[in-house]
Structure 1
């Protein structure tokens, strides 16, 4: 137990001292974000930046041809994909598509944890994105946007990365995965919020990462948190059945879900499968 307590103490102290090594955004995401903030940027220039990264290019094509954008005529080039997605959304979408590059490690055990974390993140995010897509069809004037939700959902658990990286320096901790899970539960949201600040994301993202699992924070109006929490319910992250029921009923009342069993419907499952395919 001594090593575990020591690791926990190290993490807490490094958070306090702001000395915890935080992951950096992939270079291509930084380039896209910087370009998107340039008032002189045009679709052609943005396409050229994205085209230099094959993985990001493929991700953009999948997004542009997905059900959440209505499909329509299939796009086959990066330029067409960027045109369909639009410059306003491309900043968040590009960042989201590049995030998988952050969930890597040369340590076999850490790599396994990171892969599991990324897989769970995709599950939560894809549910949230599907529900947002259905919601927007009936609430066309909602101020919430799918691109913001996509990025928020994909970084909601980003705080696990520094915890696993720090644990890599203390191999004995892996003898007790229960402790590691507890450290993630207790610390990852706070660390994740620090990452959003380091990445220069807006306060909105910081608040979402900090509060998504804190069920004392219950927005009265429809909020990005609702969609992420619905994804967490669907994937068994909130295990208390009465908590699940209360939340789901509130989402029906808010119009996020047409009924409490919607996530078991074929309509939901079909789009959920399509959205998950964007990340494969």
Structure 2
């Protein structure tokens, strides 16, 4: 049996036996989510929790002042940033910003692969966020959608790749065959992503996104986060086999009726502002 087939067999067996090691949510994200679920929490307490992590604090300041959010008056401290963002959004935004911590490895080969994966994830996210902004700028009703939940959904949409790469790290020669890795990811990442999101206690909608974003067989009746993520994936080159179908759905659902907007300077500026949040 080839190394590639052996790895795929090992992965499937571990998934079926529930013995595959899954990534854990970063500690600071767990603290923020726990605090956000506390009915007694207030902005000062939340600021104290976030302040325990200097990197997250800096990111919160950055997003509060971001051009993407259209802010002209700058906040100067973490308390002001938390106040501007608000408790409702903090939970998802903090989790999203902590995601980068999972895309690291002490192994050089795996680390380089993860770095590329994170860059692609950020590209998908920035494009999805820009599509969302174009959607709402042209007068669409988005009562059931919000940008912080979309951001989180986009950043975790491909989370199922991580345990595959962790297992592949034990068989480093497979990294010389990216085609095989892509096949393994196509076959297993969705299933693993759903498992991870359930393990982390996320909503069923988030579970469905990680499991089904690649498959157009899964559709929602109303416009949902998965639609923006799919368009973001097409624009980022993460979906190529059925990109025309994705864009046709984008039009038919009324997300972006004129696809020329996605090639406009307006769109590119929004996308670049969104991407700057994660750089």
Determine if the TM-score, normalized by the shorter chain, exceeds 0.5: yes
Q: CA deviation at 1:181?
A: 1.4
- TM-score normalised to the size of structure 1? 0.95
Give unpaired runs (5+ residues) of structure 2.
none
Distance 1:3 1:245, change over 3 A: closer
* Distance in 2 between residues matched to 1:126 and 1:266, nearest whole Å: 15
* Distance in 2 between residues matched to 1:81 and 1:150, nearest whole Å: 18
Q: CA deviation at 1:201?
A: 1.0
* Structure 2 partner of 1:103: 103
CA contact (8 A) 1:127 1:231 kept: yes
Give unpaired runs (5+ residues) of structure 1.
none
- How does 1:69-148 map onto structure 2 within 5 Å? 69-137=69-137, 138-148=139-149
* Distance in 1 between residues matched to 2:125 and 2:176, nearest whole Å: 30
* Distance in 1 between residues matched to 2:53 and 2:81, nearest whole Å: 14
RMSD of aligned residue pairs (Cα, Å): 1.4
- How does 1:3-18 map onto structure 2 within 5 Å? 3-18=3-18
Query: 1:52-109: per-residue Cα shift (whole Å, max 9, x none)?
Result: 2111111111211123323131112111111111101110000000010010101111
- TM-score normalised to the size of structure 2? 0.95
* Structure 2 partner of 1:160: 161
Q: Residue 31 of structure 2: SS of its match in structure 1?
A: helix
* Structure 1 partner of 2:45: 45
Query: 1:208-267: per-residue Cα shift (whole Å, max 9, x none)?
Result: 100100111122321111100001110122224xx3333223323333214112221000
CA contact (8 A) 1:122 1:279 kept: yes
Aligned length: 278
* Distance in 1 between residues matched to 2:166 and 2:249, nearest whole Å: 37
* Structure 2 partner of 1:278: 277
